[in-house]
Chains A and B, each alone.
Chain A
Amino acid sequence: MNNLKIVLSGIVKNNPTFVLLLGMCPTLGTTTSAVNGAGMGAATMAVLILSNIVISLVKNIIPSKVRIPSYIVIIAAFVTIVELCMRAYLPDLYKTLGVFIPLIVVNCIILGRAEGFAAKNGVWASALDGIGIGLGFTLALTVIGAVREALGSGAIFGHRFISGDGMLIFVLAPGAFLVLGYLMVLFNRLTAKMRS
C-alpha cells in the first residue's frame, strides 16, 4: 500500500464513524456543535497517532498473552498526557468536552487500530494509518456537529444566522441519532463507488 492510500482508506473506505461504526459514544455525546466535534476528533487523533507509533515500535517485544494490557497502558498514558495538555493550554475546550476526554482510553477505534493495524505494520505505515483514521473521525464528528448546530441552534461554528431558537431536538440526544443515521446513509451512498 502506498502512503496516500493508507490515509485515504482511513477517511473513506474504513471511516471509523460512518463505515466501521466505532467510537459511537463520543460521536453521539460531544457533537452538539461543530467546534466540540472537531475538538473531540483532534484529541482522539492525537492519541491514535501516538499510540499507533509506539505500539508498532514495541510490538516485537510484547508477549502475545499480555499484548492487550500493554496496549491499554500505552493508550491510557497518552490519553492522560493529552488531557493534561488540554487542561493547561485549551481550558475552554476541556471544560466543554469534560468527561469524554478520559473516556478516549476505552474508545474502540484506538484499541482496534492498535490490534488490527499497528501490531502488524511498520512505524511509518502505522503513523499514516493513525492520521487517516484520525482525520476520518475528526471530519465525521465535525460534520455531524455542524449539522446539529445549524439545525438546533441556527449557527455555524458559533456564528448565528437566525435569531431565536433552532429545532432544539437536534442539540439534544435524539438529534444525535437522527443526524448520524442520515449522514451515514448519505456518506455510504456518495462513496459507494470509491469503496468498491
Chain B
Amino acid sequence: MKNSLLNMVLVLGGISLVASAGVGYVYRITEEPIALAAEANTRAALSEVLPPFEQTVENELVLDDIPVTVHTASDSAGQTVGYAVETATRSGFSGEFRLMVGFLPDGKVQRVKVLSHAETPGLGSKMADSDNPLERSFVGKNPSQMRLSVTKDGGEVDALTAATITSRAYVDAVARAFNAVMQTSGGQEVDAATGATNTTPVPENTGKESDNE
C-alpha cells in the first residue's frame, strides 16, 4: 500500500485497535482463572505452614517499610489455631526474598516455607529445601525465647554452609514475621540482632571465615 500519511495512520491505528481489542478480550476471560490460581497458591502455602483450620482473617502491616501480611487462622469454633505470616527481607544475597512463617497461638514456629527467592542455586537456595538447618533451628521454638542470630554471630540459629548472608536475612525475615504476629495479637516484640539490617550493629567479623556465598 502507498506510503501516504493517511494510509500509515489508518493502518497502524487499525492494527493497534484490533490488537488491544484482542488483548482486552483475553484479559476478560483469563481474569478469573488468574485470581483463582493466585488464591489457590496462597491457600496451599497456608495449609502447609498451619495446623488444620477453617478460615483465615488477613491483616496487612508495614514493618521497616516492608509489607507483611498476617493471616490469623481459626477453627470452626472460632478459636485461633495459628498465624501464618507472609514476610520478606531485603537483605538476601540477591535482594528480596519472601517467606511464609506459620506460628502456633503460643508463638512457637510451626513451619517456614520459602515463597520466592533469587538466592544462589546450591548455596543460598538451600533455605527452600525441606528440613534444612535454618528451618530446623526455628521449628517448635518461640523466637522471643531465642537468641535471634546465626551461631557465628553468637545466636542459636544454624546457618547454611557458605551462605551466611542468606541465613542472616532469613533470621531477619522470621523475626519480622514474629513481630507482625505480636503486633496483631498485642504481645511483646523481639529485637533480632541478625546483622542483616543496617539498623542493628553488625557483629565483628573474624576475617577468616568468608561471608560470600
Question: B12 contacts which of A64, A70, A77, A87 (Cβ < 8 Å)?
Answer: A70
Are A76 and B12 in contact, with the CB atoms below 8 A? Answer: no
Are B19 and A77 in contact, with the CB atoms below 8 A? Answer: yes
Question: A58 contacts which of B4, B15, B23, B122 (Cβ < 8 Å)?
Answer: B15
Interface residues of B in 116-151 (CB under 8 A from A): 116, 120-123
CB distance from B6 to the nearest CB of A (A): 10
Sort A-B residue pairs by CB-CB distance and give the 8 closest, nearest first.
Answer: A77-B19, A88-B33, A88-B30, A168-B122, A91-B37, A84-B30, A171-B121, A81-B26
Are B30 and A165 in contact, with the CB atoms below 8 A? Answer: no
The verdict on A85 contacting chain B, using a C-beta distance below 8 Å, is yes
A residues apposed to B, CB below 8 Å: 32, 58, 60-66, 69-70, 73-74, 76-77, 80-81, 84-85, 87-89, 91, 95, 152-153, 165, 168, 171-172
A-B contact pairs, 23 of them (CB 8 A): A60-B1, A61-B11, A63-B4, A63-B7, A63-B8, A64-B3, A66-B12, A70-B11, A73-B12, A73-B15, A73-B16, A76-B19, A77-B19, A77-B23, A81-B26, A85-B30, A87-B34, A87-B37, A91-B37, A91-B41, A153-B122, A171-B121, A172-B120
Q: Which residues of A contact B22 (CB under 8 A)?
A: 77, 81
Are B1 and A168 in contact, with the CB atoms below 8 A? Answer: no
Q: Given A61-B1, A168-B121, are A66 and B30 neighbors across the interface (CB < 8 Å)?
A: no
Are A70 and B15 in contact, with the CB atoms below 8 A? Answer: yes
The verdict on B47 contacting chain A, using a C-beta distance below 8 Å, is no
Look across to chain B and name the residue whose beta carbon is closest to the beta carbon of A64.
B3
Are B20 and A77 in contact, with the CB atoms below 8 A? Answer: yes
Interface Cβ pair total, 8 Å cutoff: 73
Q: A73-B16, A95-B116 are in contact. List 7 more A-B contacts (CB 8 A).
A: A65-B3, A70-B11, A85-B30, A87-B30, A88-B30, A168-B122, A168-B123
Q: Which residues of A contact B41 (CB under 8 A)?
A: 91
CB distance from B14 to the nearest CB of A (A): 9
Look across to chain A and name the residue whose beta carbon is closest to the beta carbon of B26.
A81
Are B12 and A84 in contact, with the CB atoms below 8 A? Answer: no
Docked complex Cα distance between A72 and B27 (Å): 19
Look across to chain B and name the residue whose beta carbon is closest to the beta carbon of A90.
B37
CB distance from A66 to the nearest CB of B (A): 5
Q: Which residues of B contact A62 (CB under 8 A)?
A: 1, 11, 15
Docked complex Cα distance between A171 and B12 (Å): 43
Q: Is the interface of A mostly helix, strand, loop or mixed?
A: helix
Look across to chain A and name the residue whose beta carbon is closest to the beta carbon of B35.
A88
CB distance from A87 to the nearest CB of B (A): 5
The verdict on B2 contacting chain A, using a C-beta distance below 8 Å, is yes
Look across to chain A and name the residue whose beta carbon is closest to the beta carbon of B27.
A84
Are B23 and A81 in contact, with the CB atoms below 8 A? Answer: yes
Q: Which residues of A contact B30 (CB under 8 A)?
A: 84-85, 87-88
CB distance from A134 to the nearest CB of B (A): 20
CB distance from B27 to the nearest CB of A (A): 6
Are A63 and B3 in contact, with the CB atoms below 8 A? Answer: yes
Docked complex Cα distance between A64 and B4 (Å): 10
Docked complex Cα distance between A60 and B30 (Å): 33
Q: Which residues of B contact A65 (CB under 8 A)?
A: 3, 8
Docked complex Cα distance between A171 and B7 (Å): 50
Are A165 and B26 in contact, with the CB atoms below 8 A? Answer: no
Q: Which residues of A contact B26 (CB under 8 A)?
A: 80-81, 84-85
Docked complex Cα distance between A86 and B19 (Å): 19
Interface residues of B in 30-72 (CB under 8 A from A): 30, 33-34, 37-38, 41
